[in-house]
Every structure is written in structure tokens, then in C-alpha cells.
Structure 1
Amino acid sequence: MRLSCPEEYPVTLFVNGKELSTYQLTKHDLIDWTYGHLFSEGIINSRNDIKKVHQSEGIVSVILKESVDFTSTEKKKKHRTSGCGNGVTFFSMSDVKKLPKVDTDLQLSLTYLLKKRHEFAKASTMYNETGGMHGACIVKRSGEIVVREDIGRHNAVDKIIGYALRNNLNPRELVLLTTGRVSYEMLAKSARFGFGIIGSRTAATKQAVQLANYLGVEVVGYIRGRMSLVYTKHGKVYNDLTAVSST
């Protein structure tokens, strides 16, 4: 089978007429990405903080409502993120530890997460066409899934957060699944939105697990086939498999 090449483009994000940064992105779902990225970075606190978004070739321009203080964000030091194009975040580890602990009543089995991971893989259209995309997926309480994809794992998560934000979804009722490594900044994005359960087909870093323990987030890694690794012990995911490793 011959796969097509994954595509990426430079996209510059302007907020209130000022350039925030230029990012390498896959063009699909850029409005979702804009909302999710601004929320993840603490620039907005809700979808209602954005007055207008305009998208043109290689540029996304956002006008915030007058009540939003963008100047405080501009003064923050930028931190390099791990992998995926050396992105930047305005959140340091100390900032993230100030986030409120997550609150969810979801309790799920590893069998259920493996099933949803399989559905996620089948629904990842761009990955299946190119073999070179990351994806992020939310699982609703009803079992319905929504998938967003991008060349970068951080961008994919921002897109799915933006989708949930724009559609006013309750994070208490959602699970986040991702194809990428769960690093501390990925955990920070997820916890800021309020996801109580995060699952990945690969690993979580030590810093991410430490932060997840502190914030009450359940992290499950290596969701593949009949495998899973539960990194945390918050009681939100239980082991109903016989051949599974848990720590």
C-alpha cells in the first residue's frame, strides 16, 4: 500500500493585532486549534472570551473581548516543549501546580479504554492515509468519540480541547485519548481543561505522572492490543484484564 506524505504548514497566530508565534500545523480544524491553544496557554478561560476569529492563508487573527487581560501573558517567559517541532508554552511547572485538582465521577475499565482506542485508530483518517499524523480523541459518557489530527501531538490535543470548548462539553464527562507521549505540558493542557482520565498508545514521562498524581488525573499508557499500563492510582480506571501490567 502506498501512503501519501503528511502535510504541514507555517501558521502565524495574531492576538489583538500582536504576533503570538508561528506554528507548524496541519491545516484541518484550525479554528478548533485556535480556541484550544489559547485556552491551554491561559490566554482565555472560556469560549466567550473571544470576540472574533479570522482565518486566511497562513494566518489566524483573534480579537479578544475587552475584559481579557492579554498583556499579562505577553510578559510571561516562554518555555520550550518536548518534541514535535520544539513548540512553546507560557506555563512552567510551578504554574501548572497551581491548577485546581480535577473532578470527575467516571470509572472505566481497561477493556473499555482498549475498545475506544481501537475505534479511535479506525477513525483517524489522516493517519490511515499518511502513516505520519498524531491524533487526539475525546470519548463522551455516551461512548461517542470525536477525533482531531495534526502533524504535532500538542496541536492535536489543542484541537480536541478547542472542539470541546466550542461545543460547551463538560470535561467531567469526557476521556482524552492521544497517540503521543504524555509529557508534563501535555498533562498540563489536559488538566487545565479538566480531563480526569488520559490514555495514550505510548508512554508518560516521570514529570507528567508526578503532576498527574498531584492533580488527581488518571494516566494510562501503552493502550495497545491487550496491554495497558496504569501509572496512577486514583481509582478512575480499574483492571479487568488478566494479562496487563499495572504500577
Structure 2
Amino acid sequence: MKRGESSGTVPATHVRAGGQVTARRTLPEETPVAMVYDGTTHAVMMASPADIEDFAIGFSLTEGIVAHPEQIAACEIVAHARGIEAQMWLTGPRAEALSARRRSLAGPVGCGLCGIDSLEQAIRPLPVLHGRGPAPSIGEVASATDRLCEWQPLHDRTHGVHAAGFLMPDRGMILAREDVGRHNALDKLVGAMARQGLDPGQGAFVLTSRVSVEMVQKCAMAGCAILIAVSAPTLHALRLAEGAGVTVAGFARGGGFDLFSHPERLEAEFRHVA
């Protein structure tokens, strides 16, 4: 297995009631990725070693370190023996703001809030997303996670990673990113969209995970008002979604979904199918 690749094949022994057999398994890789701003490490995340520039830009946007990609003056990806550094240099005002708000997120892939400096930072103020904007149809929401499956080559090889995709009404799934961490996959998607000039307000984010607090936070910070997930939201995530104006559709699989917050974005479609 080569270092820096997103997956590798290893020997394994399949053990079943009827006996055992030697086999080989393709597994996902994960590596430490350091977000370095103006020479200082701000966060270290365990992530898949692919699409790192997308990850760096998306993380910077969803964590509120920058408001626009243009506030990152330069970004260089540097590979080391023990991991990867995303070295970024910020414009003056953003650098000053960051120094007043340090966060260190070193921790496992399952946690997007590890190591923060205070409880207040865990539930930070979010922008409120007003208006309806373009919304996918009921059928598009119900089939969204099935469409996302078509954008998951790493998952097909390893069965061990998450994905986040962007669904546009009448266009379907137009972009997706994968990672061992669900919040990393969303950051990579946000960064890829920013680099391609795609507006998150013109569609919906689709997740292969549950909807936890940090997923709603990142969705609101990115300016996407609709969040579709294959699994459940937490109660706290729904409270945040209600306050931030985010429509949350959970359990989106098998041709249906549960709508939990801000149904008004899909109300007209509900009236049509009633």
C-alpha cells in the first residue's frame, strides 16, 4: 500500500461458521491533515489523503475562518512523512480575527468539536438562511441518497467512508466528495464548490451520515438551506436547524424521507402531491 493513496489492499482471513478462508480486503486510508494559517497550526484532522485543497478551503469557510475563498491569499499542500499540511496565508483582517479565536480540533474522525477552547464555541452563532430559493422536488429528495451512491467510488472499493453531495433541482447530483470523516467530506464538498464557483444556495447538501450539530453548523455557514441525510438528526441538531432556517430531511432512503424542520421550502410540492 502506497502512502498518500486513499485506499490499499491488505490480507485478511474470512471467518464464518463453516470455516475460514484467506482473502484480501481493500480498506480506506486516513492520515493527519494539519490546517496551518500564517505559519501556525490551527487544527489537525484525521482524513482521507485526497482533495486536500478542497478540504482546506471548505474547512476555512465552514469554520468561519474566512467568509470568501479570496480571503485565502495562498494555499500550498505539503506532504510529510507523518501527514499532510495545508499551509494557508490569510489576508490581513482575517489573520487578525483568527488570532482572537483559536480552535484546536485534534481528535478522531467521528468528532468535529474535539479540543475546542470553550463550551460557547461548541454552539456558535449561525447565520439565518431566509427565503425559499430553488428546492428539489419530493421525488428528488426521496432518491437523493441513491443518486449519491453513483458518486462513491472509494466507498465501492472499501465500504468504509462517507460522502457529501450537492443536488441541484432538475439537474440531479452534480458534485460529491468522499472521506473517512462525515464532516470532512462536507468540508471537501464546500471547498470544491467554492473553487468551481457553485452557489450552495441553489440546491441541497446530501449526506451518507446522521445529521449532527457540526453538520448543521457547516451547512448554515456555507449558505445551503436544505440538508438531506440517509440517517437521523440529533435533537440538538434540529434545534440549531430551526434557528438557522435549515430544512432537514432525514432517513432519506427507500423512496421516502422524514421532514423535520422548515417544511415551507417544500410545502408547494406537498400540496401538489396530496
**TM-score normalised to structure 1 length:** 0.87
Q: Among 62, 80, 92, which residue is 1:66 paired with? A: 92
Residue 207 of structure 2 corresponds to which residue in structure 1? 178
Pairing 1:223–2:248 present: no
Query: Aligned partners of 2:147 and 2:85: how far apart in 1?
Result: 33
Deviation at 1:22, TM superposition (A): 1.6
Task: Show the counterpart of 2:109.
Answer: 84
The residue aligned with 2:153 is 125
Residues 49 and 64 in structure 1, CA contact (< 8 A), matched pair in contact too: yes
Name which of 39, 48, 58 aligns with 2:70. 48
- Tell me which of the two structures has the higher relative contact order, counting C-alpha pairs closer than 8 angstroms and 6 or more residues apart: 1
Aligned residue type for 1:231? F
Q: CA deviation at 1:24?
A: 0.6
C-alpha displacement of 1:73: 2.8
3-state SS in 2 of match to 1:105: coil
Assess if the C-alpha contact under 8 Å between 1:102 and 1:194 holds in 2. no
2:190 to 147, 158, 161: 161
Q: What is the count of residue pairs matched by the alignment?
A: 240
Q: Distance in 2 between matches of 1:241 and 1:8?
A: 44
Contact 2:143 2:253 in 1 (8 A): no
Output the CA distance in 2 between the equivalents of 1:116 and 1:2: 32
Counterparts in 2 of 1:144 and 1:221: CA distance versus 1, 3 Å? closer
Equivalent residue, structure 1, for 2:3: none
Using a 3 Å threshold, how does the CA distance of structure 1 residues 85 and 171 change in structure 2: closer, same or farther? closer
What is the root-mean-square deviation in Å for CA atoms of aligned residues?
2.6
Structure 2 unpaired stretches of 5+? 1-22
Indicate if the aligned counterparts of 2:36 and 2:87 stay in contact, CA closer than 8 A: yes
Of the two, which has the highest radius of gyration? 2
Equivalence for 1:14: 36
The percent identity for this pair of structures is 25
Work out the CA distance in 2 between the residues paired with 1:216 and 1:86: 24
Contact 2:33 2:44 in 1 (8 A): yes
Name structure 1 gaps, 5 residues minimum.
Answer: 243-247
- 1:15, 1:64 within 8 Å by CA — same for their partners in 2? yes
